[in-house]
Structure 1
Amino acid sequence: MDELYALAGGFAVAFTWYNVALMILGITLGVVIGVLPGLGGANGVAILLPLTFSMEPTSAIIMLTSIYWGALFGGAITAILFNIPGEPWSVATTFDGHPMAQRGRADEALVAAFTSSFVGAIFAVALITFLAPVVAKFALRFGPAEFFAVQFLTFASFIGMGRGSPAKTLASMCLGFALACVGLDGVTGSLRMTFGHDELLNGFKFLVAVIGLFGIGEILTSMEDGLKFSGADAKLKMDAVIRTWRQLPKMFFTFLRSCIVGCWMGITPGGATPASFMGYGLAKRFSKNGNNFGKGELEGVVAPETAAHAAGTAALLPMLTLGIPGSPTAAVLLGGLLIWGLQPGPLLFVEQKDFVWGLIASMYLGNVVGLIMVLTCVPLFAAILRVPFSIIAPVIVVICAIGAYTVNNAMFDVWMMLVFGVMGYLFTKLGYPLPPLVLALVLGDQAESSFRQAMLVSQGDVTVFWSNWLSGSIMTLGVILAFWPLVSGLMARFGKSGRTASAA
């Protein structure tokens, strides 16, 4: 009941003309970002983060999260109309969304995608509303050992649950740790890896690195691919909306299953992309029309969109309560909170109640506003793809440069942005994942500080991480996840050799 009273206060904070105007602006920018391939939620938030430096933290976070909601909605437009995933998590939407558009059912596919996105996001926001205060109160009992255990579990999750090579994930993460060590040592005050450059005394600026890795890196990749846009036109009429909404209640269990999968993958943190594929796979397996998936089945649009949006929203739960981002976009938002002087974690719910509950209330409002906007403005957003990419790409690069320069008003940051952009391009070409690098860059300092504080308290005894059931259980789970690829590989090898021996 206390959560409902606090949420009512949050609506009073969020529901002002200024914050609603920022919400509409953010969603509009987010949909544009989601529509344009080569950008994405994390990229858009990173590029536009400098615009919020002069705002109050509550207004700033409302605008940035609205950009995120808009990007989540916008990715489905290109996936369905043009068969070009505007976001990585929209790939699964193309499987049935584009075949529906080719059959003249683009309006039904778009309505189903937008509505599913809304349902998944609202389910996750409701989970945050009632679960976040409980997690925050529980986390107040955390000490350095417990915080490091949680951070270690987060890093291990990327290794054990990632879809790519564990070795490449680990290499990317180690590079992020190395970059996070540059500058002044927070414990001893000594310089580390500055190589005589005064600009590196405070380390690599997180925002500059993210703009380069995501913004410039993706643009370079897209330019190499030589994107050309061609697709179907779509107009959403009210009869199509009503006709589609009448079909959706029949898919109740698909919605519920995808919401649960999405929330789990957002918190763990698996991410929106694997959540969308998992939601699609489960729907195909349990649906009575599973054989029609891939040919233009409405349920094949509902499942991935619901799971992706539930995951993208639920990723904010560990970020707010523990200071652990559950997705690349949550990592960017975490960096924004630190820039504004706010420390995410359990104390945020005690010291900044208006901020936290204003943010949660804005999640409800933002998704309602986003649903209305995309249902009414699809033709306008889709028309953006008629602009030649040769015009769009330079505009994005200029915006990135301005964003990097405004961090410290220094050209050094612009050059570093370009260096990180080339790094992001090379990582993409070589198949190295960027999210682990970003996560390590954001949490590296905090994880190191927690580890060293725990070591000082225990006088160098590593068993301090197993000194109580809480940190011990989290660390044990983290160790299992870290070595899970090796364990699963050995199990598969022994299982194969056993079947071979029995067959012989």
Structure 2
Amino acid sequence: MENFASLLHGFQIALTTHHIALMFAGVLLGILVGVLPGLGAPNGVSLMLPLTFSMDPVSAIILLTSLYWGALFGGSTTSILFNIPGEPSSVATTFDGHPMAKQGRATEALSFAFLSAGIGAMAGVILITLLSGWVARFALKFSSPEYFAVYFMTFASFVGLGGASPFKTIVSMAMGFAFASIGMDSVSGNVRLTYEFDVLLAGVSFLIAVIGLFGLGELLQTMEEGLRFDGVKAKVSPRDVFATALKLPRYWLALLRSSIIGIWMGITPGGPTAASFMSYAMAKRSSRNPEKFGKGEPEGVISPETADHAAGSSAMLPMLALGIPGSATAAVMMGGLMIWGLNPGPMLFVERPDFVWGLIASMYLGNVVAVIVVLATVPLFASILRIPFSIIGPAIVVVCFIGAYTVGNKEFDIWLALAFGIVGYLFKKLDYPIAPLVLAMVIGDKAEDAFRQSMIFSQGSLSIFWSNALVASLMAIALALLLFPLIGSTRRGIRKLVTARAAKA
């Protein structure tokens, strides 16, 4: 009941003409970001972030979250009509969405995608509403050892559950720690890793890194692939949307299963991309007609879209309640909170309940607005992709460089963004995950501060991380996650050995 009363107060904050207008503007910008190749939700949010510095934090976060929802929907549009995923999490939607469009069922595919995405997003927001207060109250018991254990568990879960090679994840994370260490040490006051370049004394902004890694890096890869846009035309009518909505209850099991998968992958660092692929695989495995998948099966659109958006919204829970982002976009938003003078974590619920519950209420409204706007603007944004990439590409580069310069009004930041763009391109080519690097840059210094404070309290003894049941449990879970890939590979090796011996016998 306490959460319900707080949510009603949040709706009073969110339901203003100004905030509703920001939701529409954010969704439209987000759809554009999702449609254009080379951009994406993390980069779109990071480019908009400097423009929010003069805004009220509630208005700023409503604009950014609405942009996030719009980017996810925009990626689905291009996946279905052009077979081009605007977002990495929309790749699985192409498997059945584009075949449906080519069969003349583009409106049905788009309606299934957007309606199921709205349901998945709502499932994630409901979870935040129910659990955020409890998680925040529980986290108030934390001191520096517990906070370090939680940060360590987050890093370990990226290694154990992230889906990429554990070695590559660790390398990516180590680079993030190194970039986060550049500049003035907040504890001792010493200067680190600047190599006598005065321009690095202030450190490396994570915004510059995100603009380069996601924006310029994706664009370099897109240019290499020589992307062409040949899509299916579609016009969404209210009658067709209503007819598709009537069919949606048939797929209630897929919606429920995909929502659960998405919520789990959003709270853990699996993220929307892993959630969409996992949900698609589960749908195909449990289907009575798996041979229809890949040929225009509606469940092949519903499952990844539901999981994608459930993961995207539920990733906000650990960011708000614990100060731990569950995705790259949540990490960028968390950086924005710190720039606005807000400290993500349990005290945020105590010190700024208006901000927290205004945000949660806006997530309900923002998703409804996103579904309506995206259904109404499909033809408009689909036509944008018919503009030659030789025009779109340079425009994206200009936007990225303007965003990089705006962060600190320094020419050096433009060159830094370009350097990060090359790093992002190499990461993509070599299949290194980028999210762990961004995560380490955002919370690496907080983890370091928690560790050093713990060492001061214990006079240098690591036993402080096993000094009570709570911190010991968190460390045990973290170590188990860290060793999970090793255990899995050992089991596979034993299974292969047993199979080989059985075959010889």
Q: Tell me which interval the TM-score lies in, with the shorter structure as reference length.
A: over 0.9
Output the CA distance in 1 between the equivalents of 2:217 and 2:306: 28
Q: Deviations over 1:322-368 (max 9, x none)?
A: 10000000000011111111100000000001111110011011001
Structure 2 partner of 1:131? 131
Code of the residue aligned with 1:307 in structure 2: it is A
- The alignment partner of 2:222 has SS state of helix
Code of the residue aligned with 1:377 in structure 2: it is T
Alignment partner of 1:345 is 2:331: no
Structure 1 partner of 2:157? 157
Runs of 5+ consecutive residues of structure 2 not aligned to the other structure: none
Answer whether contact 2:35 2:74 (CA < 8 A) is retained: yes
Answer whether contact 2:38 2:396 (CA < 8 A) is retained: no
Answer whether contact 1:184 1:201 (CA < 8 A) is retained: yes
Structure 2 partner of 1:500? 500
Deviates more, 1:285-294 or 1:43-52: 285-294
Q: Deviations over 1:129-173 (max 9, x none)?
A: 110010000000001111111111111111111222211111111
Output the CA distance in 2 between the equivalents of 1:502 and 1:402: 63
Output the CA distance in 1 between the equivalents of 2:13 and 2:496: 60
Output the CA distance in 2 between the equivalents of 1:174 and 1:115: 40
Code of the residue aligned with 2:294 in structure 1: it is G
Output the CA distance in 2 between the equivalents of 1:394 and 1:71: 20
Deviates more, 1:410-419 or 1:298-307: 410-419
Runs of 5+ consecutive residues of structure 1 not aligned to the other structure: none
Code of the residue aligned with 1:147 in structure 2: it is Y
Output the CA distance in 1 between the equivalents of 2:14 and 2:223: 39
Output the CA distance in 2 between the equivalents of 1:411 and 1:186: 25
Output the CA distance in 1 between the equivalents of 2:171 and 2:131: 34
Structure 2 partner of 1:291? 291
Code of the residue aligned with 1:442 in structure 2: it is V
Output the CA distance in 2 between the equivalents of 1:427 and 1:277: 21
Q: What is the CA distance between 1:495 and its match in structure 2?
A: 1.9
Q: What is the CA distance between 1:253 and its match in structure 2?
A: 1.2
Structure 2 partner of 1:113? 113
Structure 1 partner of 2:147? 147
> What percentage of aligned pairs have identical amino acids?
60
TM-score of the aligned structures, taking structure 2 as reference length: 0.98
Answer whether contact 2:38 2:216 (CA < 8 A) is retained: no
Output the CA distance in 2 between the equivalents of 1:94 and 1:499: 36
Output the CA distance in 1 between the equivalents of 2:54 and 2:393: 27
Alignment partner of 1:460 is 2:460: yes
Alignment partner of 1:441 is 2:437: no
Answer whether contact 1:47 1:215 (CA < 8 A) is retained: no
Structure 1 partner of 2:209? 209
Structure 2 partner of 1:396? 396
Structure 1 partner of 2:21? 21
Code of the residue aligned with 1:21 in structure 2: it is A
- The alignment partner of 2:385 has SS state of helix
Residues 67 and 151 (structure 1), Cα distance of their counterparts in 2 relative to 1, 3 Å cut? same
- The alignment partner of 1:216 has SS state of helix
Answer whether contact 2:262 2:311 (CA < 8 A) is retained: yes
- The alignment partner of 1:399 has SS state of helix
- The alignment partner of 1:475 has SS state of helix
Alignment partner of 1:229 is 2:229: yes
Structure 2 partner of 1:380? 380
Structure 2 partner of 1:432? 432
CA RMSD of aligned residues (A): 1.1
Structure 1 partner of 2:66? 66
Q: Deviations over 1:477-499 (max 9, x none)?
A: 11111122122111211222123
Q: Deviations over 1:51-106 (max 9, x none)?
A: 11111111111001110000111111111111111111111111111111111001
TM-score of the aligned structures, taking structure 1 as reference length: 0.98
Q: What is the CA distance between 1:289 and its match in structure 2?
A: 3.1
- The alignment partner of 1:427 has SS state of helix
- The alignment partner of 1:163 has SS state of coil
- The alignment partner of 1:324 has SS state of coil
Q: What is the CA distance between 1:21 and its match in structure 2?
A: 1.1
Output the CA distance in 1 between the equivalents of 2:446 and 2:201: 18
Structure 2 partner of 1:277? 277
- The alignment partner of 2:479 has SS state of helix
Deviates more, 1:135-144 or 1:468-477: 468-477
Answer whether contact 2:41 2:72 (CA < 8 A) is retained: yes
Output the CA distance in 2 between the equivalents of 1:185 and 1:399: 32
Output the CA distance in 2 between the equivalents of 1:499 and 1:468: 44
Alignment length (residue pairs): 504
Code of the residue aligned with 2:224 in structure 1: it is E
